[in-house]
Chains A and B, each alone.
Chain A
């Protein structure tokens, strides 16, 4: 049976981006389906009735949701160019750190958003402080070189690519959160992504991405 791989995604979502990186690293051909999250397609709702979110990978008609679950599925289905380490302990560590990064992102992003859409100085400072507190934890772990086993993009690196979102958004909104002086290791990581051949293909054009955040966050700021 011919392989049919579809990816339901949103171009601006770093969670969708991660799946594209994984698929491209494996050289898997897929059909990309852009979803309008304000007007979700019946197909998406059918494939992910529980969360109604992207990304969703559909492989030969079988849907898989949740980006880390999808990445593991990709790694187990297309076994060449492994994304996860082979050794069980190293693999477990990779899973641990990926979860850690994702959990931290959901602490960082709301705080960063608060800083970027706030009208008042005090609220902005509070948001920045809170975001930086959580970023500091990531920075410390990264500095101790606990994340990454190798030079190439693996499971943990792909997971960590979420932080690019913060960098683009903060630049678009003119707020300094993830700065090079305070977070040198994280900053170096974003450079690593920018220089990587596969990742470069999967990241939206900077201007388009920036404009997206300006519009989204600008609208949120105005509605306050």
Chain B
């Protein structure tokens, strides 16, 4: 169900009173929030085509890296998009370095999940899509193909997968949305 932020539907606010954010999954009337929590729930309820590895150690590694991406890559990426000047430069540098660290989690595999995509691919794949699009909008290099050749290749392969293509928003619409968002952020930055 599509939410039109910033106007949040009463249903959303009822289902996620703590954070008032999307995504929210409602299964048999019971709501769940926080995307990584939701993905693990989906994996545990619908047990075919497992997203997480079976072995506890590999599961721990997948969770570790998903947390790393969420805490070290995503905020830097948003700062590189929303800030200007030196702050933007530093944020982009931090992002590139943290993506380099994330690349080591591939361990020479095609996908984080091995031969096919898994939990970690799903958790971090969107970063590639978002960063690629917004490098241009924000005028800063986020994905440095020379610095992260393997991750760069993985981003590309991931985004080309038919199942991912089905889930991506229309790219022209997304680009227009991001351009508009960036304009608003720049206006706000100019006022402070």
Contact = CB atoms under 8 A, between A and B. Distances in A.
Interface string B45-71: 100000000001101110110011000
A89 interface: yes
A93 B44 CA distance: 13
Dominant SS at the B interface?
helix
Interface in A18-68: 50, 59, 62, 64-66
Nearest to A73: B60
Given A50-B101, A64-B64, A89-B30, A73 B57 contact: yes
Interface in A58-89: 59, 62, 64-66, 69-70, 72-73, 76-77, 88-89
A92 B32 contact: yes
Dominant SS at the A interface?
helix
B40 interface: yes
B64 A92 contact: no
Interface stretch (A95-103, A109-117, A151-159): A95-103
Contacts of A50: 68, 101
Contacts of B181: none
A99 B34 contact: yes
Given A66-B64, A92-B32, A92-B38, A76 B45 contact: no
A142 B44 CA distance: 27
User: By CB atoms of chain A within 10 A, which of B56, B59, B67, B101 has the most?
Assistant: B56
A50 B65 CA distance: 10
B26 to A, nearest CB: 11
A51 to B, nearest CB: 8
Contacts of A73: 56-57, 59-60
Contacts of A62: 57
Nearest to A64: B60
Interface of B: 18, 27, 30, 32-34, 37-38, 40-41, 44-45, 56-57, 59-61, 63-64, 67-68, 101
Given A50-B68, A72-B60, 10 more contacts: A50-B101, A64-B60, A66-B63, A69-B64, A70-B60, A73-B56, A73-B60, A92-B37, A92-B40, A141-B18
Interface of A: 50, 59, 62, 64-66, 69-70, 72-73, 76-77, 88-89, 91-93, 95-96, 99-100, 141
6 contacts: A50-B68, A50-B101, A72-B63, A73-B60, A91-B44, A99-B37
